[in-house]
Amino acid sequence: QVQLVESGGGSVQPGGSLRLSCAASGNPYAYYCVGWFRQAPGKEREEVASIYNGYDYTWYADSVKGRFTISQDNAKNTVYLQMDNLKSEDTAMYYCAAVGGVCSGPDGTGTLPDSDYAYWGQGTQVTVSS
């Protein structure tokens, strides 16, 4: 059974930074996709970034492109989300999710819909406020 545990959330002022971690255990897949999602109260869940460990592939939502960076440490089975220049609209519960296989769609671009992800963590809260 795959387990994902997020950490690193907290409260920060606008313009600040946080680094989220997603630690995986029990992963039966040699190659897999990990995505970071967020959901604010009253809003739909939004995928913000994804990464595939089989080759150098990452994807970002336009809302975070240039501010967030997703990376991975395969030796530690951990995926990170470095969040810089945070804005109040980044306030949300952040979740990581994983599934075996590539992150991209059939045309080799984009990312997977959240319904394709098989495993989910419990989330970590990020609050950006002055």
Look at strands 124-128 and 10-12 and give their pairing. Answer: parallel
Q: Which of 80, 87, 57 is nearest to 8 (CA)?
A: 80
pLDDT at 26 over 90: no
21 alpha-carbon distance from chain centroid: 9
- Render pLDDT for 55-74 as a digit per residue (tens, 0 to 9): 889 999 999 999 999 999 98
Q: Has residue 31 got a pLDDT over 90?
A: no
- Which pLDDT score is estimated for 105? 81
